[in-house]
Structure 1
Amino acid sequence: MNATATSSRPTARRIEPRWRVVDIVVASVLGVASALVFFAWNQVYAPVTAPLEAVLPGSQALFYGLWLFAGVLGGLVIRKPGAALFTELVAAVVSALLGAQWGGFATIEAGLAQGLGAELIFLVFLYHRWNVVVAMLAGAAAGLAMAVNDIVGYYLASGSAFQAIYTVSGILSGAVIAGLGSWFIVRGLARTGALSRFASGRVAAR
């Protein structure tokens, strides 16, 4: 095998685990922007999800992915260990400061659980896989974490049927809204050049 053939092989890009200042700034901005989306959704989620809840209790969680996307989005953009957890936690803290109706501690604790769910998926893939499947798995894991957290905190006395429907709905919503949705957002941002300082921007823009 000649040297030219060897050198033409694509090499795996090593992910640098250390955070740069720009990583912290952008992850924080994403968290704050996500919190504003959370705040708007907090105002309208009850009437929007009420018909689903009336028809099939527990299925209202099919829309709850709108509370789960921050961690997935942060992980996909920053591509560093802790990015999903950090972004979701920033979003939760800002949401609590904006007056989320569940109270400050409960909002932050929920953000911590959801961020950990997404973070664990990126960890499983050793922070080297950032395709749409991984994004949807991260969203699904955030949805599972949300469902378990909510059942323990609010719905422990509910029947097993409600809990199962709520959990499945949360996982589906997380996979589609938070996972697939965040993947499309990253690709859209990459095409504008906004993520040019990140591997996510350079790869997704191709």
Structure 2
Amino acid sequence: MSTTNTPATSAGSTSSTSPTSTPPRRGSIRASGQLWGWRTVDLLTVSFLGAAFGVAYWAWGLAYTAPAAGLEALFPPLQGITGAPWLMAGVVGGLVIRRPGSALLCEVVAALVSMLPGTKWGFTTLVSGILQGLGAEIAFLLLGYAAFGLGAALLAGALSAPLEALYEWQTWWTDWDLGYKLAYAGILTVAGAIIAGGLGWLLTRGLARAGALGAFPAGQEARESHAV
């Protein structure tokens, strides 16, 4: 009778067990070290991402007018769709850095950079950046800064919208009735999930697969997926 639970193999026999590949990782990789322990590379990267999004935000501020006018002609609250791209920086910042404050900081930097060439919204651009970044930050906080997959991205994109919608009710949509305002908030939230969240997740994966995020968990996840 064997005294162990491990099957014995004779010296000349061939094991029936074939080498197995590393199973796919379940869940997300969290930020290394202390969660609040920001590294220099974290600060530099979130600043670079925010600046890049700021330039894109400024460009979208010039280009969005025509599609917004078309949507307004159909149903004014549909303009929430054109507002969704401005929610993406916080999503991507959170997905890449994965530390408390990263979503907020990335969105605020983007807002500040987009203001530099001059915008028709002035200082309210920064207020919007803060509110949008806070919404994305709340999403990652609710997930314990431990989940950074597609679901987390969709949630961050969605939660980037409500505070911004409330602010816009008081600044830009003051002549709308409550029904229009609620419709706008709902449309901005759904568009935020799909456009900011979905496209933000795809952008992060693309950067990781291209090797641009080697120092971050997203880059490690990309390497592991290629190794499987």
TM-score for the superposition, normalised by structure 1? 0.91
Could you list the runs of 5+ residues in structure 1 that have no partner in the other structure? 3-7
Q: Which amino acid aligns with 1:124?
A: L
The share of aligned pairs that are identical, in percent, is 40
Deviation readout 1:79-113 (Å, 9 max, x if unpaired):
1110000000000111111212101x211011000
Contact 2:135 2:163 in 1 (8 A): yes
Following superposition, the deviation at residue 14 of structure 1 comes to 5.2
More displaced stretch, 78-87 vs 156-165 = 156-165
CA distance in 2 between counterparts of 1:23 and 1:182 reads 18
CA distance in 1 between counterparts of 2:139 and 2:201 reads 15
**Structure (1 or 2) with the greater helix fraction:** 1
Q: CA RMSD in A?
A: 2.0
Q: Which amino acid aligns with 2:131?
A: A
Within 5 Å, give how 1:158-173 maps onto structure 2: 158-173=176-191
Query: Which residue pairs with 2:67 in the alignment?
Result: 48
Query: Which residue pairs with 1:152 in the alignment?
Result: 170
Deviation readout 1:144-167 (Å, 9 max, x if unpaired):
222111112222331112102211
Query: Which residue pairs with 1:29 in the alignment?
Result: 48
Partner of 2:160, secondary structure, is: helix
Query: Which residue pairs with 1:63 in the alignment?
Result: 82
Contact 2:30 2:98 in 1 (8 A): no
More displaced stretch, 76-85 vs 44-53 = 44-53
Within 5 Å, give how 1:85-164 maps onto structure 2: 85-103=104-122, 105-164=123-182
Deviation readout 1:41-63 (Å, 9 max, x if unpaired):
00111111111111111111112
Matched, 1:84 2:103: yes
Partner of 1:110, secondary structure, is: helix
Could you list the runs of 5+ residues in structure 2 that have no partner in the other structure? 6-21
TM-score for the superposition, normalised by structure 2? 0.82
Q: For the pair shown, which has the larger CA radius of gyration, 1 or 2?
A: 2
Superposition misfits of 4+ residues, deviation over 6 angstroms: none
CA distance in 2 between counterparts of 1:34 and 1:40 reads 10
How many corresponding residue pairs?
199
Distance change in 2, residues 1:40/1:199 (3 Å): same
